[in-house]
Amino acid sequence: EECGRLAGRDGAVLAAVVVDTARWQLVHFSLWAREAPGVDGEVFQVLHLSTPERDALPRGRQW
């Protein structure tokens, strides 16, 4: 539910939940087009991201 909520917010480029098998924990990951909204966790600034044809990708789940 949290992943879907984040993905639907304005400025969200990507949201995913993965399993860290070293610790058996869920890890939430999100990528934002501008400054991340006020959410808990570590924040990293990506200075450059190549996104050729990003607009051609369909929205939503890809599986």
| pLDDT interval class at 63 (50, 70, 90) | low
The predicted-structure confidence for 27-61, as pLDDT tens digits, reads as follows: 888 888 887 777 777 777 778 878 788 788 887 77
CA angle 24, 38, 4 (to 5 degrees): 55
β-pair partners for 30? 15
Domains of the chain by residue range? 1-33
Which among 20, 45, 21 has a CA at the least distance from the CA of 32?
A: 45
User: What one-character DSSP code corresponds to residue 56?
Assistant: G
Decide: 11 and 32 in contact? Cβ < 8 Å: yes
